[in-house]
Amino acid sequence: MQNSSSSVLNGSSALTAGSKDSFSNALTKNTVAVLVWLLLSGCNGSMVLTFLKHSLFYENPRYIMFVSMVINDALQLSLVTALYVVSYIFRKIHASVCCALIMTAVLTTRSTPLILAGMALERYVSICFPLHYSHMCTVPRTLLLIGFILVLTAAPPVTDLLITAVHQPPSFFHTNIFCDHPLLFRHRSIYYKNCVFDGVYLSFVTLTLLYTYCKIMVAARAASTGLASVKRARNTVLIHGVQLLLCMLTFVVPSLQAALISLFPRFSLEIRYVFFLLVYIIPRFMSPIIYGFRDELFRKYWIRYLACRSQRTVRVRPVLLKVNQ
């Protein structure tokens, strides 16, 4: 199983050394990718603005974690889409620019499972320890957790860069390369390091989701009051599990994609495009579904914001009337 660093861009690297798509197919694929990006960017942007316009969301750790997930998904989607389109327009780009894009894409991709684990823990505390929720889940602790996630997920790409800087001459970062992780971070130790990291942290996230889901299931059976909220929390954690499974596709896609391409070499570009949609596009629809539509409070303010944006503002200029005396 390959690590996520090398798989982040496998779906977006549309072109290989020996294959080239026709103009019509390339135009169709890139148009679909850009349209989906515009749709999700508009949706994510409206949710972030809804969060920012209402102070009641600032005091709730649940919504703070949610908006961090939305921002992370929006950034990850923008980077992957940009890399996908760039792979068609420019065969090679400056290595330093490619380095910045890949490192940010890896960071945002790795952040998603950890944010899911944090959101599942928040639901677990709210259901199983409701009397201690206000003390355990505070805004400063939530911000500290988000900061810790960013530092933890930034460590692998930063070490990739340091290892490459040690083993490659400085002139390497001034060359033009095809923007792909294995071509940029070539040293073999990077592969093994990321395999260990990905295995440990994905195992932690999986165990966290399983533990919180089982505990909430036990609380749901024992609950005599507030059963509806317990069911919603259970379903939310279950959907987080589905999100995690979709995120884990990035770890198995390289091997599966290579096997399919070896069996059907004539459809290599189509196979890459399908995996690009399944792994990097479709999971980004999950966050709006979970909180944009399922959460009653956020849905109310979100619909109100969308309705206000859709209405045209009519400005009336005051007219001074002269009164005859």
* Positions in the chain whose pLDDT score sits under 50: 1-8, 10-18, 313-317, 319, 321, 323-325
pLDDT at 4: 47
pLDDT at 7: 47
pLDDT at 213: 80
Hey, what amino acid is at 12? S
Which strand (E) or helix (H) includes residue 317? none
Enumerate residues 6+ apart whose C-beta is below 8 A from 106: 4, 5, 8, 156, 157, 160, 181
Q: What angle do CA 53, 65, 157 make, to 5 degrees?
A: 120
**Left if phi > 0, otherwise alpha if psi is -120 to 50, otherwise beta: which for 225?**
beta
Q: Is 241 exposed, middle or buried (0-12, 13-18, 19+ CB in 10 A)?
A: middle
- For domain 4-310, the CATH class is mainly alpha
pTM: 0.81
How far is 92 from 180, CA to CA, in rounded Å? 10
Enumerate residues 6+ apart whose C-beta is below 8 A from 253: 7, 10, 11, 275, 279
| Cβ atoms 127, 216 nearer than 8 A | yes
pLDDT at 241: 73
Encode pLDDT of 159-185 as tens digits: 999 999 998 888 888 888 888 778 888
Encode pLDDT of 246-290 as tens digits: 776 666 666 677 778 788 878 777 787 887 777 777 777 776 666
